[in-house]
Amino acid sequence: MNYVIMPTCHWCHVMERESFEDLQVADYLNDKFVSIKVDKEERPDIDSIYMNVCQALTGSGGWPLTIVMTEEQKPFFAGTYFPKESMYGRMGLMELLAAITEKWRDDRKSLQAAGQRITEATAGFFNREASDKMPDKASIERAYRDLKEDYDSQYGGFGHPPKFPTPHNLMFLLRYHYINGDRDALKMVEETLAHMYRGGIFDHIGYGFARYSTDSRWLVPHFEKMLYDNALLIMIYLEAWQLTQNPLFKDVAEKTLSYVKREMTLEAGGFYSAQDADVDGEEGKYYTFTPDEIAGILDKEESEKFCRYFDIKAKGNFEGKNIPNLIHNPSYFAGSSDINAMLPRVSKYRYERYKLHKDDKVLTSWNALMIAAHAKASRVLGNEEYLETASSSFAFVLNNMTEAAGRLLISWRDGTAKGKGLLDDYAYMAWASLELYEATLDDKYLSFSAQAINEILERFADSEGGFFLNPKDGEALIFRPKEQYDGAMPSGNSVAAYCLTKLYLLTGDVRWQKEADRQLSFYYAAFSGQPRAYTFALMALMLRTFPTAEIVCLARDNKNAKELARKFGGRFMPQHSVVLKTDENAAALGEAAAFTKDYKLPEGRDEAYYLCQNQSCSPPVYDLESLLLNL
């Protein structure tokens, strides 16, 4: 029996308390089954296979994920949460185990045959038909129309509850607006970001975002806070600030960054994975308040104002208590020095009231996302501290989560790293290094991104197109999964498509162009079906199908490289790529971006800028501000 769990998930904890820590259940499992408990965050490849089994057999999925399989790993039963005993029409685990034990004893061959059929059917799900056709702009247009049709005009976001932030959908829409000037695309992004901030999915006391909302208003979250959600949300709020200069978006990004620094950052560099939803077995207990509690922290006038501001009432809005929110507060961003002065006292009380469990493992892929977020923040906001965090965390991964031969590992905890790196680890690290390059214009990050993508091509490529989730020399599973769907996070295949395309634009190397086009061809069938499910991959397609521009910056040295990066970072320019060539990096950059070899500084000049569009470059401009005026 295989149990796949998310360590911070409320129902995973419930099943653990009810069943796995129960002696009767434990004795039965140990006597009749070989039980394996898998952390889905460390082994997304295993989770991917068996989650698809569960969805195929039951029509839905989730965690905890309960799988019963043969000794050859072939599944014949799947489900999610089971209480110990049957209740409210839901089969209990003890009843289920007894039924499976009896069936295995009396009719084992039928279960084995079912396991074989299910395995073959699930393997077929991952086998996408290869195509040599390139997708076109029609896929982008259809994805936009589908998102627009599914948009919640009252509270933002898409579809019905539960509502996930899915920041890459918003990134796609922001780029769609940038390219096409579509006001509705921008409006959907602005409204969604504002509503998410106003709701309870944003922690107004200690900052940071919970995983998703159970209702349409973003009020009641599943309270666990995941590193990857906060990384992606930081990035989209920063991009929205770049484009709109709305101070709300900058404020939310900075507050979320402060949460990550306070709660999720290792002193040596790197980031923890998550914070729990539960305290003492009660979901949301850490995050909720009563008016009496607030009255015990603040004086009478302050507490009344605080409760009024954050909608904290006697009747409560969540199981008799209150999730602080600004949904009904029309002055949600008018600013209040009084409220800001009260927050530290309320936050201190909350922190000391209960102990919140932290998932303290460090994951390469999720760390890469947060590194990318900090690198973008340093470039967009001009804050050196964010860059220091990004670069030190990048170094932490390389020093602690990489084998001697340069091979990435999956996770690290208490000084021990383990697991051969998966596709997401390499793809996200390639993305993080591209963001670091854009923040520093240091060619070492460009080289690392190319190295990571080369590792993907070597270890994960499928001759039929796309990339497998696990490496060719990884642990033997019933088959190698290959994912395209952009769920809560973009898939490794989508991120690889983006990085390949960006590498081509930055380096001019046609090898990257060929590999990018091959990867996008792998998406041809997926884009033809439901393109809105692959919005991050569509961002790569935008770079290939809409006009782009490359800016080649020449300088005597790189002492002003960060300042130069921040000049460009103040603008939202997703279709532009910036390369810096100096006397110091000319040789290295010539290896990475050979097209720059003919660019030379004119005599008597200390800087020059070339704008290249449509396979041709303009005459040099010697003043950066003049160049920026024409972008």
pLDDT tens digits for range 503-516: 999 998 999 999 99
Q: Are residues 336 and 367 in the same domain?
A: no
Structural domain harbouring 35 = 2-126
Confidence of residue 288 (pLDDT cuts 50, 70, 90): very high
Q: In which order are the strands placed within the sheet that holds 409-413?
A: 362-363, 409-413, 416-420
Dihedral sign for Cα atoms in the order 135, 513, 585, 628: negative
The pLDDT assigned to 334 comes to 66
- Domain for residue 233, yes or no? yes
Distance CA 492, CA 17 (A): 34
What is each CA distance from 9 to 194, 282, 318, in whole angstroms? 26, 12, 18
Q: Average pLDDT in the 10-32 region?
A: 84
Task: Tell me the three state secondary structure of residue 158.
Answer: strand
The pLDDT assigned to 8 comes to 66
Distance CA 225, CA 555 (A): 43
The pLDDT assigned to 559 comes to 84
Low-confidence winner among 55-69, 96-110, 153-167, 222-236 (lowest mean pLDDT): 55-69
Q: How many residues does the chain have?
A: 631
Q: Are residues 592 and 510 in the same domain?
A: no
| Strand 362-363 to 409-413 pairing | antiparallel
Predicted confidence (pLDDT) at residue 11 exceeds the cutoff of 60: yes
Q: Which helix (H) or strand (E) holds 463?
A: none
Q: Are residues 101 and 234 in the same domain?
A: no
Q: Are residues 10 and 85 in the same domain?
A: yes
Distance CA 204, CA 294 (A): 14
Confidence of residue 130 (pLDDT cuts 50, 70, 90): low
The residues, ordered by sequence, that sit 6+ positions from 617 with a Cβ below 8 Å of its Cβ are: 552, 610, 611
The mean of the pLDDT values for the chain is 91
- Domain for residue 203, yes or no? yes
364-381 helix and 247-263 helix, angle to the nearest 10 degrees: 140
The pLDDT assigned to 360 comes to 93
The pLDDT assigned to 127 comes to 67
Q: Average pLDDT in the 126-137 region?
A: 78
The pLDDT assigned to 321 comes to 96
What is each CA distance from 577 to 97, 465, 493, 519, 573, in whole angstroms? 57, 27, 22, 21, 8
The pLDDT assigned to 516 comes to 97
CA atoms within a 13 Å half-sphere pointing along the CA-CB vector of 561: 22
Predicted confidence (pLDDT) at residue 317 exceeds the cutoff of 70: yes
Q: Are residues 398 and 472 in the same domain?
A: yes
Q: Average pLDDT in the 552-574 region?
A: 90
The pLDDT assigned to 220 comes to 97
**Looking at per-residue confidence, does 337 or 251 come out higher?**
251
DSSP 561-613: HHHHHHHHHTS--TTEEEEEEETTTHHHHHHH-GGGTT--PPTT-SEEEEEEE
- Domain for residue 574, yes or no? yes
Which residue, of 545, 575, 597, is where some domain finishes?
Answer: 545
CATH number at residue 32: 3.40.30.10
Q: Are residues 375 and 348 in the same domain?
A: no
Predicted confidence (pLDDT) at residue 350 exceeds the cutoff of 80: yes
Distance CA 69, CA 83 (A): 20
The pLDDT assigned to 128 comes to 64
Predicted confidence (pLDDT) at residue 336 exceeds the cutoff of 80: no
Q: Average pLDDT in the 455-461 region?
A: 96
Tracing tokens 């409320």 back to the chain, one arrives at: 10
The pLDDT assigned to 382 comes to 94
Which residue, of 76, 100, 126, is where some domain finishes?
Answer: 126
Q: Are residues 171 and 183 in the same domain?
A: yes
Distance CA 503, CA 438 (A): 12
Confidence of residue 159 (pLDDT cuts 50, 70, 90): very high
The pLDDT assigned to 617 comes to 79
Predicted confidence (pLDDT) at residue 554 exceeds the cutoff of 70: yes
Q: Are residues 337 and 375 in the same domain?
A: no
- Any alpha helices (H) in 127-225, and if so which ranges? 137-149, 167-180, 183-198
Question: What is the share, in percent, of the chain residues with pLDDT greater than 70?
Answer: 97
Q: Are residues 538 and 555 in the same domain?
A: no
Q: Average pLDDT in the 534-561 region?
A: 93
Most confident of 113-127, 226-240, 351-365: 226-240
Predicted confidence (pLDDT) at residue 442 exceeds the cutoff of 70: yes
300-309 helix and 337-353 helix, angle to the nearest 10 degrees: 90
Q: Are residues 608 and 517 in the same domain?
A: no
- Domain for residue 132, yes or no? no
CATH number at residue 454: 1.50.10.10
- Domain for residue 441, yes or no? yes
The pLDDT assigned to 1 comes to 62
- Domain for residue 457, yes or no? yes
Identity at 147, one-letter amino acid code: L
Centre a 10 Å sphere on the Cβ of residue 575 and count the other Cβ atoms it contains. 16
Report residue 153 as tokens. 């005009």
Q: Average pLDDT in the 200-210 region?
A: 97
Q: Average pLDDT in the 90-115 region?
A: 88
CA 36 from chain center: how many Å?
27
CA 412 from chain center: how many Å?
19
**What are the backbone dihedrals phi and psi of residue 252, each rounded to the nearest 5 degrees, phi first?**
-65, -40
- Domain for residue 121, yes or no? yes
Cβ atoms 423, 408 nearer than 8 A = no
Which residue, of 126, 161, 196, is where some domain finishes?
Answer: 126
The pLDDT assigned to 47 comes to 85
Domain count, the chain: 4
pLDDT tens digits for range 489-543: 999 999 999 999 999 999 989 999 999 999 999 999 999 999 999 999 999 999 9
Q: Are residues 223 and 329 in the same domain?
A: no
Distance CA 552, CA 612 (A): 8
Q: Are residues 254 and 207 in the same domain?
A: yes
**Looking at per-residue confidence, does 529 or 253 come out higher?**
253
Predicted confidence (pLDDT) at residue 114 exceeds the cutoff of 90: no
* Pick from 410, 524, 402: nearest CA to 451: 402
The pLDDT assigned to 379 comes to 96
